[in-house]
C-alpha cells in the first residue's frame, strides 16, 4: 500500500533539490525523508533517484512517476478544498509566484491582509523575476506582467490597462536634464533589466505619430526589478518600470514620469496553468488584488 506521506516526501525532495532541503521544509530529519522515499521505491519496485556520494538526480522511472505523484497530491488537496468551499470556507495551501519589486513592496502586506481574512490558508510564496513553468512546478497561480507567450495558460486580468513608466528621480534630472523625446534617451544613463537571458534594452513608446523604439545603454544592468527601481530612486539613471511598481513613488514625488501615457502596455494578470486551478481561494485572491491594485494606480 502506497502511503501518501511517502509520495509527498518524494515530490518535496524533487522540488527542494535533495533530502536535506526537503527535510528542512517539513521540519523532519533527512533520514526520515530518505526512508519515506525508499518505502515508496519498494512499493513501486523501481529506483526513483540515481544517487552517488556527491549528487542525486531523478531516474528515468522517477521522471515518469513524478507527474502522477503530483496529480495524486493535487487530487487529495482538491478534494479537501472542494469540501471546504462547499461550506463557504477557504483553506489549504495557496502557492503563489510573484515578481520581485511588486511582490516585496506592494503585494506582501496585502497578502498578509488576505491571509488574516482567511486564516485557514497556508501561504507558500515564491518571489522572483524569473518565469516559472506553471506546468512543471507546483504553483497555483502567478502574478505576471505582459502578454502570455504560452496560449495554454489561463490569465485573469488584474490591471489590464497597466503601462510602463519612463521615470527618474528629481536629483538625476537636475544633474542631467530631462529628455524631451524618447530619442534623447541615447544621451542618458538608462537602467536596464534582464529578462531570462535577454537584456531589455529596446524600449518602446506609443507616441502620437506612432510607435517609437529606442536602443538604450547604461552602466547598470540587473535581473531584479526592485534593484532597478532603487537605482532610479538613488539618482543613478532612468528606469522603465511598470506603473504598478512605481505608483507610490510618483505620487510622493520621489520619481518623475517623463512621458505620461506614452509607455508601452504591460497588463498585469493572475495566471494559472489551467482552469481547474481557479479555485475559490484563487478567485477571491484575484478579486482582492484587483481592488487593491485599482486603488493604488488611481
Residue 262 inside a domain? The answer is no
Q: What does the buried/exposed string (b/e) look like for 25-49 if buried means 16 or more CB atoms within 10 Å of the residue's CB?
A: ebeeeeeebbebbebbbeeeeeebb
Quote the pLDDT of residue 15.
Answer: 84
Question: What cell was used for 164?
Answer: 510602463
Q: Which of 28, 58, 82 lies at the terminal end of a domain, its last residue?
A: 82
Residue 279 inside a domain? The answer is yes
Residue 289 inside a domain? The answer is yes
Judgement on whether residues 168 and 145 belong to the same structural domain of the protein:
no
Find the distance separating the first CA and the last CA of the chain, reported in whole Å.
57
Low-confidence ranges of the chain (pLDDT < 70): 81, 84-88, 150
Q: Which of 25, 54, 82 lies at the terminal end of a domain, its last residue?
A: 82
C-alpha 273/C-alpha 134 separation (Å) is 6
Quote the pLDDT of residue 84.
Answer: 65
Residue 98 inside a domain? The answer is yes
Residue 238 inside a domain? The answer is yes
Question: What cell was used for 190?
Answer: 538608462
Judgement on whether residues 222 and 179 belong to the same structural domain of the protein:
yes
Domain count for the chain: 3
DSSP 172-240: HHHHH---SSGGGGGGS-EEEEEETTEEE-EEEEEETTEEEEEE---S-EES-HHHHHHHHHTTS-EEE
Quote the pLDDT of residue 196.
Answer: 73
Judgement on whether residues 169 and 252 belong to the same structural domain of the protein:
yes
CATH of the domain at 65: 1.10.10.10
Q: Which domain holds residue 154?
A: 90-161+267-297
Judgement on whether residues 22 and 64 belong to the same structural domain of the protein:
yes
Quote the pLDDT of residue 36.
Answer: 94
Which strand ranges, in their side-by-side order, compose the sheet holding 154-159? 121-127, 92-98, 141-145, 268-272, 154-159
CATH of the domain at 197: 3.40.190.10
Judgement on whether residues 67 and 40 belong to the same structural domain of the protein:
yes
Judgement on whether residues 157 and 171 belong to the same structural domain of the protein:
no
* Degrees, nearest 5: CA angle 18-140-135: 70
Q: Which of 51, 82, 113 lies at the terminal end of a domain, its last residue?
A: 82
C-alpha 121/C-alpha 123 separation (Å) is 6
Judgement on whether residues 196 and 245 belong to the same structural domain of the protein:
yes
Judgement on whether residues 183 and 106 belong to the same structural domain of the protein:
no
Amino acid at each position: 500500500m502506497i502511503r501518501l506521506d511517502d509520495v509527498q516526501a518524494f515530490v518535496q525532495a524533487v522540488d527542494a533539490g535533495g533530502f536535506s532541503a526537503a527535510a528542512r521544509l517539513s521540519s523532519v530529519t533527512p533520514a526520515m525523508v530518505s526512508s519515506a522515499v525508499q518505502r515508496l521505491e519498494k512499493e513501486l519496485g523501481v529506483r526513483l533517484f540515481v544517487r552517488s556520494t556527491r549528487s542525486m538526480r531523478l531516474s528515468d522511472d522517477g521522471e515518469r512517476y513524478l507527474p502522477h505523484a503530483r496529480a495524486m497530491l493535487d487530487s487529495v488537496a482538491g478534494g479537501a478544498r472542494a469540501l471546504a468551499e462547499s461550506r463557504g470556507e477557504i483553506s489549504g495551501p495557496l502557492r503563489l509566484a510573484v515578481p520581485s519589486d511588486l511582490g516585496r513592496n506592494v503585494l506582501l502586506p496585502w497578502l498578509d491582509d488576505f491571509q488574516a481574512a482567511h486564516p485557514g490558508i497556508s501561504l507558500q510564496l515564491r518571489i522572483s523575476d524569473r518565469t516559472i513553468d506553471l506546468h512543471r512546478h507546483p504553483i497555483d497561480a502567478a502574478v505576471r506582467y505582459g502578454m502570455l507567450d504560452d496560449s495554454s495558460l489561463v490569465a485573469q486580468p488584474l490591471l489590464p490597462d497597466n503601462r510602463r513608466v519612463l521615470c527618474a528621480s528629481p536629483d538625476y534630472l537636475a544633474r542631467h536634464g530631462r529628455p524631451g523625446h524618447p530619442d534623447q534617451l541615447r544621451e542618458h544613463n538608462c537602467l536596464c533589466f534582464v529578462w531570462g537571458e535577454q537584456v531589455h534594452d529596446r524600449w518602446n513608446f506609443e507616441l502620437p505619430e506612432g510607435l517609437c523604439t529606442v536602443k538604450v545603454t547604461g552602466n547598470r544592468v540587473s535581473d531584479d526589478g526592485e534593484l532597478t527601481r532603487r537605482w532610479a530612486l538613488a539618482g543613478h539613471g532612468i528606469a522603465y518600470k511598470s506603473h504598478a511598481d512605481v505608483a507610490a513613488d510618483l505620487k510622493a514625488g520621489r520619481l518623475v514620469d517623463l512621458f505620461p501615457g506614452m509607455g508601452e502596455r504591460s497588463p498585469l494578470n493572475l495566471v494559472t496553468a489551467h482552469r481547474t486551478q481557479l479555485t475559490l481561494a484563487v478567485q477571491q485572491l484575484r478579486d482582492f488584488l484587483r481592488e487593491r491594485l485599482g486603488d493604488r494606480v488611481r
